[in-house]
Structure 1
Amino acid sequence: METTEDFDGFHERALPKRLEGDWGAVAARGSSGLPPLAFRLPDGRAYTYVPGKSGVEVVAGDGGAKTVVELDEALWRGLLSSMETPSGLILFQKAKVLSGEVSDFVNWEPALRVLYEGLPPYDPQAPLVGSDGREIDPSTSFHADDDPERMADFLRTAGYILVREVLPSNEVEDLLEAAEALRASARQGEPTSWWGKHQDGRTILTRVINGGSDPRIRSLLRDPRLLKIVRLSDVDLEATDTDVIHVLFKQSGMVFDGKSDNPWHRDCGLGLHKVMCPIMNGSLFLRSANRDAGELRFLPGSWQTAGCSVADQDSEIGVGIEANPGDFALHYGDGMHAGPPPRAKDGPFRSSVVFEFGPPGRRPEEGQEYYDMQMHDIDAGQLR
């Protein structure tokens, strides 16, 4: 929400004025079930958002808030301008939850996007309708030679697309060899790899983020077969030419840390949405992805909304894609997606190369790389 108002002016004039109209009812839907949330500045000034049946009331002070978050005015303005997020403020210790639960603040994120960005809340019951007015099947997959207009419309509507058999098996095997070499050379404590705790006490590598250091993996950024799929987007995007390319190695039995198994999130969920997006992430599958091996799930159509608060353990909602080696999935970073744990005890488990496509000319520090290199020693489980 663009405004020249300061902290007080926004809460006393700009936000109440917006909520007087029809948007008040929209905000009520977006904040339904959430406890009152207050933002307090270090000098004590504070305002509380109180959800109601027909709107959200803005109340001076924080006496009636269940959750009180202290932050400076610049960081609050970062929330307002979609440069900061609740998750990022907590993980990187920029804000303090003085009372209430951290999870309540995190669960407020979609409602804050309704209030601040003017986006509608995600409605999982809403039909997914293509440009021809017909409802589409969100589990549809494609092949590279299918009708590009139909593929583009699906991507535009759902926010993701799965394309089958993009790379042949011999190339996939070569890439898998490169991925395994990176796994073997990874060392715990280095920022180029992420590790997690297994339920049996072992520490296990879950991903490397220096995939671009291998020329075979880095060449995927310029592969015309993948770029053909990227060009289905209505937005002009190009690969971020960097060593920071993720290679995921799913594993069953991991203790939740928010990184080994991904809760529902968006790729700009730690911040920088204003300069990062639109962004798309591509997943090239080196091993199968399914419920047993570890799947990728999406909330269809969520990429053009404020999202919604979803329990981490709720892996039944949305759509799970079943992919084979050589398949390629592409999704908008603003769409909500998750990587729940594999259901099988024994592998092989999902392995995939993940890389980003963003606006032309964007610098690496304006994308996910900015946060990815800081996450190796951070336990995202503290957001629960």
Structure 2
Amino acid sequence: MGTDTRGTGLPWVEAIAGSFPRYSFDEFHTIQLPALNARNAVLLVDDLAGVPPLGFRLPGGRAFTWAATADGIRVVEGEQNAETLVELDETTFSSYLNELLTASGSVRTERATVVRGSLDGWKRWQPATRSLISGRPIYTDAVRDTLVGLDGEPLDLLRRFPVDGDRDEMRHFLDTAGFLHVKEVYSPEEIASFREEVEFVRSRTTPGDPYSWWSLNADGDEVVTRINYLGRHSEVLQELCFEPRMTEFARLGNPAFRVCDDRLDGPMVFVKSSDIVKGDGDLGWHTDDGIGGHPVLCPLIQAGVQLDHADPENGQLMVLAGSHRYTNHWLQWGEEGNLPVVRLETEPGDLTLHFGDLMHSTPPPVGRNAGRRALYYKFSEEKTFEWVPPGCHYNDALFHADATGKVSARAATH
């Protein structure tokens, strides 16, 4: 997890909200939402068919209910017909509309309370809300028609580009599919050195370290699954932030990208282990702005240096191709239907790239002795550096003590 090294209680998170347009609760419901619906209803009608009404209520009692209709969204004053009712203040409501908070992020940071119904009831409306305001369509299997190469032919989503591959083709593939797989970027000697450094950092990392994530396996052992800010113990892994090959490939996503060497968790390593039963060793479908912060963090590239073979046995990255260009429902494994799921099989020395707002997942390894390690380096635009201070991450908002004083840092403690 990221850490607010300044110990300031995250006032910069609130300052970010202050730099975005402030929505009036009443004006949005009575004027802006109907106008947005007239413009973008075609994007959401099919998605919302049959979805129960959602209500929002201010602490003082003022409330509006959103109902799905054949014409999009109809707003009714009051809360009586809302199957799911959310109470939040006007600042949080505005942050939700600005994509600075998601439904999950609003609840998990205790900025909103679901007083009737369920969080899932609120989340069900979220893609339509995002589409209503932004004009981005909702992700469905219709995306397949857009996954087309420069030659007009469907993309080979399992394509692995050579290091000297055509940069225009690589850039188009990354922009269109949201990910890229480049073969043999790093030599066996370089990978051996990186592995040695990772193991040294792991030897210096213990449960309770605020810069690491820990999980429990089936034997009851606590195992490290992620270590952030690797430069605390390894100059080699810190200097890799500025390695020219990685920088060039990351900037295929945006020529203005710079590496997040001192914030957003800095250089980090994921370690996949078998038989994880508690904690975040295995991650379901998600985006890196899952609690919010989309306009702050995105576009963002995750550059992954593969230290071990990745496949179902040893653990692998899965992505939903093209999902970074859409608003997305939160899926469980097995709910993908006909969506273009891509399972990346990589070798040591390969470099993978994916956008942070691409839906991606790291399911449990099926082998008994998995140990796949992958280094990750984030690249983002200058705006991210202006908003997020060194040593911090937008997700720090999650890691505050709750009403009982508990902080989510280790699987053994929550």
The alignment's TM-score, normalised by the length of structure 2, stands at 0.84
> Is the aligned partner of 1:119 residue 2:136?
yes
Whether the aligned pair in 2 keeps the contact of 1:272 and 1:366 (CA below 8 Å) is no
The amino acid across from 1:307 in the alignment is N
What is the CA-CA distance between 1:69 and the residue it aligns to? 1.5
> Is the aligned partner of 1:12 residue 2:30?
yes
Q: Which residue of the other structure, out of 129, 143, 146, is the alignment partner of 2:162?
A: 143
Aligned counterparts of 1:31 and 1:69: Cα–Cα separation in 2: 18
Aligned counterparts of 1:355 and 1:232: Cα–Cα separation in 2: 15
Q: Which residue of the other structure, out of 202, 220, 223, is the alignment partner of 1:204?
A: 223
Q: State the match for 1:357 in structure 2.
A: 379
Aligned counterparts of 1:26 and 1:246: Cα–Cα separation in 2: 38
Pair 193,369 (structure 1): closer, same or farther in 2 beyond 3 Å: same
Whether the aligned pair in 2 keeps the contact of 1:165 and 1:326 (CA below 8 Å) is yes
> Is the aligned partner of 1:159 residue 2:159?
no
Aligned counterparts of 2:297 and 2:186: Cα–Cα separation in 1: 28
What is the CA-CA distance between 1:40 and the residue it aligns to? 1.4
What is the CA-CA distance between 1:256 and the residue it aligns to? 5.1
Q: Which residue of the other structure, out of 182, 192, 208, is the alignment partner of 1:189?
A: 208
Deviations 1:46-103 (A, max 9, x none): 2222234442222222222222221111011011112111222222222111122223
Aligned counterparts of 1:319 and 1:279: Cα–Cα separation in 2: 20
Percent of aligned positions that are identical: 32
Q: Which residue of the other structure, out of 324, 327, 346, is the alignment partner of 1:303?
A: 324
Q: State the match for 2:305 in structure 1.
A: 284
Whether the aligned pair in 2 keeps the contact of 1:80 and 1:117 (CA below 8 Å) is no
The amino acid across from 2:301 in the alignment is M
Aligned counterparts of 1:143 and 1:364: Cα–Cα separation in 2: 35
Aligned counterparts of 2:62 and 2:224: Cα–Cα separation in 1: 45
Q: State the match for 1:346 in structure 2.
A: 369
> Is the aligned partner of 1:24 residue 2:46?
no
* Bigger shift: residues 125-134 or 156-165: 125-134
Whether the aligned pair in 2 keeps the contact of 1:191 and 1:374 (CA below 8 Å) is no
Q: Counterpart of 2:276 in 1: which secondary structure? A: coil
Pair 373,40 (structure 1): closer, same or farther in 2 beyond 3 Å: closer
Q: Which residue of the other structure, out of 176, 199, 213, is the alignment partner of 1:180?
A: 199
Q: State the match for 2:346 in structure 1.
A: 323
What are structure 2's unaligned runs of at least 5 residues? 1-19, 400-406
Pair 133,369 (structure 1): closer, same or farther in 2 beyond 3 Å: farther
Alignment coverage as a number of residue pairs = 377
Aligned counterparts of 1:271 and 1:19: Cα–Cα separation in 2: 23
Aligned counterparts of 2:49 and 2:277: Cα–Cα separation in 1: 31
Q: Counterpart of 1:206 in 2: which secondary structure? A: strand
The amino acid across from 2:225 in the alignment is T
The alignment's TM-score, normalised by the length of structure 1, stands at 0.90
Q: Counterpart of 1:44 in 2: which secondary structure? A: coil
Q: State the match for 1:219 in structure 2.
A: 239
